[in-house]
Amino acid sequence: MPKTATALAITLALRGPFANAATPDPVDLAREALIASSRSYRAAPALTDTMTYIVKGPNMDREPKKIQIRLGAGSDASVADALLAAVALGNTFYLTKSDAPGKYVSRPFSGDFGQALASVAGNQSSLFEPVQIALREGRPPDDCLAALRFNLLGPLRIAGFRRVAGNGGKPLEEIQLEADNGREELRLDAKTHLVLFVHLAVQPPGSPSGVSVEIDATFAPRILQRTAGVVAFDPGTRRAVSDLADLSSETLPVGKAAPDFALETLEGRRIALADLKGRAVLVDFWATWCVPCWKTLKETQRLADWASASGLPVTVLAVNTMERFPTEEERRTRVAGFFKSQGLTIQALLDKDTGLFRAFGAPGLPSMVVVGPRGTILGYHQGLFPNAVEKLETELTKAVRAEP
């Protein structure tokens, strides 16, 4: 027998009877793990969970943040962060803001939590549909991937699957995902199939070139046997409004005088609110480490361009605040570089000691304040909201006409 034939015969003999067995496809294994996870969430009478996450990136404040998740009977579910809370109860979907306690938005609810949330809050808000809700709704595995994008990643695709050991040797199933702008690892308890950990690395849409962000999120699921009261909403004396933009913050008293200020531009020139009397002013509070601010600044630029083209007495200011640079010179350099990389030409002001931000009640980032020509506060919005440019154009136009 020729040497090559002998070698092939020996190789086949060593491989044994499983030589032709198909190697499991990692993508199929990942989908099977998601299907098993969906069964577990659907089988639980009720469940509460806390997502604790840390965002890591250049000059970012790494303070842990939390999102509360609650799954009740049927399709009842809720999710809440420090600013927004969304509740699906029966055939109605509710959205509230912590700084607008006297109002709420409601919509008919047909069973798709993610769709209902996007219709009210848009796809760029601080709140997103948790994957636990998508899994409980019994969606196909690939459809559940949209709930893992965190409003940051592009469309996800399954890249791999493996079994790993967690703390104390706990067996875990790891599903590896990828998008055009990042990657993600999702880890499930191999026994209960519940979500325990997510890690993602992403270059968010609108971020400066070369700037990436990482998020580490841990979960603490707890299965409940009783569903009563797990998900609840009582409008009480609150007033229903039409959309998220109408949930204007009650932190700042509309109609009262805005805090006066005199801040420096990147070039060292001082701009004071008193010098802008007779003009409507939009103040956009932002920071270089604030990921949602990157998106908001693009919209603020559109507003500045609109104001310039309209000929209306409107001034748009981007106030950089809550920064932690070693020196003011480094801060100026970083902010100027950020503006250049993003093609921003808005007038930037430096809130050196965060004094102006505190004077406005430290409303959170990003946030926008509309000040009328007489120096009174006419509107305030925290966070991202749908059709922001169009709504703010309307508010600024009304401000100019109401207070000539």
C-alpha distance from residue 175 to each of 28, 190, 373 (Å) = 11, 12, 55
The larger pLDDT score, comparing residue 104 to residue 211, is at 104
> Number of helices and strands (H, E) in the chain?
9, 20
pLDDT at 376 over 90: yes
Per-residue confidence (pLDDT) for residue 394, from 0 to 100: 93
Fold classification of 22-241 (topology level): outer membrane lipoprotein receptor (LolB), chain A (2.50.20)
Report the C-alpha gap between 195 and 146 in whole angstroms: 15
Over residues 274-293, the mean pLDDT reads 92
The DSSP call for residue 313 is: S
Task: Confirm if 218 and 65 have CB atoms less than 8 A apart.
Answer: no
pTM over cut 0.75: yes
Strand partners of residue 241: 105
Q: How distant is the alpha carbon of residue 20 from its chain centre? A: 47
- Mean pLDDT, rounded, of the chain: 90
Beta strands 314-320 and 347-350, pairing class: parallel
Say how far apart CA 213 and CA 231 lie, in whole Å. 33
Q: Which pLDDT value is given to residue 4? A: 42
C-alpha to C-alpha distance for 154 and 179, rounded to whole angstroms: 5
Between helices 291-310 and 388-402, what is the axis angle to 10°? 50
**Maximum distance among all Cα pairs of the chain, rounded to whole angstroms:** 102
pLDDT exceeds 70 at position 12: no
How far apart are the C-alpha atoms of 305 and 107, rounded to whole Å?
34
Element (H, E) at 201: strand 195-202
**Residue 211: its pLDDT value, please?**
80
User: Cα(87)–Cα(101) distance, rounded to whole angstroms?
Assistant: 15
Report, as an integer, the average pLDDT of 39-51. Answer: 98
**Has residue 377 got a pLDDT over 70?**
yes
**Helix-helix angle 291-310:328-342, to 10 degrees:** 70
Averaged over 194-198, what is the pLDDT?
Answer: 98
pLDDT at position 403 is 65
Please check whether residue 44 is in contact with residue 195, taking contact to mean a CB–CB distance below 8 angstroms. Answer: no
* Percent of the chain's residues with pLDDT above 90: 70
Mean pLDDT to the nearest integer, 1-19? 43
In the chain, ranges of CATH 2.50.20.10 domains: 22-241
- Report the pLDDT averaged over residues 370-387: 89
* pLDDT the model gives residue 346: 96
Of 321, 312, 336, nearest to 368 by C-alpha is: 321
- Give the integer Cα–Cα distance in Å for 368 and 156: 32
Q: How far apart are CA 389 and CA 318, in angstroms?
A: 15
Residue 373, preceding bond cis, omega within 30 degrees? no
Instruction: Quote the pLDDT of residue 9.
Output: 44
Domain 248-402 belongs in CATH node 3.40.30.10:
yes
Q: What is the mean pLDDT of residues 95-109?
A: 93
* Domain boundaries for CATH 3.40.30.10 within the chain: 248-402
Pick from 147, 216, 206, 146: which is nearest to 181 by CA? 206
The residue assigned the tokens 């001082």 is: 270
Between 289 and 369, whose confidence is greater?
369
- In this structure, are residues 281 and 315 in contact, taking their beta carbons and an 8 Å threshold? yes
CA–CA separation, 58 vs 355, rounded Å? 23
Q: Distances from the Cα of 134 to the Cαs of 8, 41, 43, 102, 158, in angstroms?
A: 50, 9, 14, 30, 17
Residue carrying structure tokens 């639980």: 44
**pLDDT at residue 6 above 50?**
no
Residue 358 has pLDDT above 50, yes or no: yes
- Section 270-286 average pLDDT: 95
Looking at mean pLDDT, say which of 2-6, 21-25, 39-43, 140-144 comes out highest: 39-43
User: What would the mean pLDDT of 274-299 be, rounded to a whole number?
Assistant: 92
Structure token digits, residue 384:
């991202």
- 364 vs 121 pLDDT, higher one: 121
β-strand pairing of 157-165 with 262-265: unpaired
Confidence class for position 319, pLDDT limits 50, 70, 90: very high
pLDDT at 278 over 70: yes
| Model pLDDT, residue 21 | 52
The answer to whether residue 18 scores a pLDDT higher than 80 is no
Question: Is beta strand 280-286 parallel, antiparallel or unpaired with respect to 222-224?
Answer: unpaired
